[in-house]
Chain A
Amino acid sequence: MASKATSHFVMQRLTAMIQVPLVIWLAISTVAHARDTHAEFMDWVASPVTAVLLIVLILSISYHFRLGLGEVADDYVHEGGRLKLTQGLIVAYAAVIAVVSLFSVIAITLIA
Chain B
Amino acid sequence: MSETVTDRRPQVAASTIRMEGAPRTAPLSPHLSIWRWTPVNLTSILHRATGIANAAGATLLAAWFASGAIGEGAYEAVSGVLGSPLGLLVLILFTWSVMYHMTNGVRHLIWDSGHMLGKAQRGVSAYTVYGLSVLFTALIWIAAFAMGGN
B105 within 8 A of A: yes
Q: How far is the CA of A38 from the CA of B74 in the complex (A)?
A: 10
Give the residue name and chain of the B residue nearest to A65 (CB): B55
Contact of B69 among A20, A76, A97, A104 (CB under 8 A): A104
Within 8 A of A (CB), among B9-61: 19, 22-24, 26, 28-29, 48, 51-52, 54-55, 58-59, 61
The minimal Cβ–Cβ distance linking B118 to chain A, given in whole angstroms, is 21
* A65 contact set on B, CB distance < 8 A: 51, 54-55, 58
Contact with A along B99-112 (1 / 0, CB 8 A): 10010011011001
Q: Once the chains bind, are A104 and B68 in contact (CB under 8 Å)?
A: yes
The interface on chain B, measured as residues whose beta carbon lies within 8 A of the other chain's beta carbons, has a size of 40
Q: Are B147 and A31 in contact (CB under 8 A)?
A: yes
List chain B residues, Cβ under 8 A from A100.
62, 65-66
Give the shortest distance, in Å, between A61 (CB) and chain B (any CB).
6
A78 x B55 contact (CB < 8 A): no
Q: Are A75 and B68 in contact (CB under 8 A)?
A: no
B61 touching A42 by the CB < 8 A rule? no
Q: Which B residues are in CB contact (< 8 Å) with A42?
A: 68
Say which residue of B19, B48, B102 sits within 8 Å of A78 (CB atoms): B19
Which chain A residues in 58-94 approach chain B with CB under 8 Å? Answer: 61-62, 65, 68-69, 72, 74-76, 78-80, 83, 93-94
Which B residues lie at the A interface, using CB under 8 A? 19, 22-24, 26, 28-29, 48, 51-52, 54-55, 58-59, 61-62, 65-66, 68-69, 71-72, 75-76, 83, 95, 98-99, 102, 105-106, 108-109, 112, 136, 140, 143-144, 147-148
For the A-B complex with A34-B148, A97-B58 known, give 13 more contacts whose Cβ atoms are closer than 8 Å. Answer: A16-B109, A23-B98, A27-B95, A27-B136, A31-B143, A38-B68, A62-B58, A69-B52, A78-B19, A79-B22, A83-B24, A101-B62, A104-B62
**15 A–B pairs (Cβ distance < 8 Å), ordered by A:** A16-B105, A16-B109, A24-B102, A27-B95, A27-B140, A31-B144, A34-B147, A34-B148, A38-B71, A72-B48, A94-B55, A97-B62, A100-B66, A101-B62, A104-B66
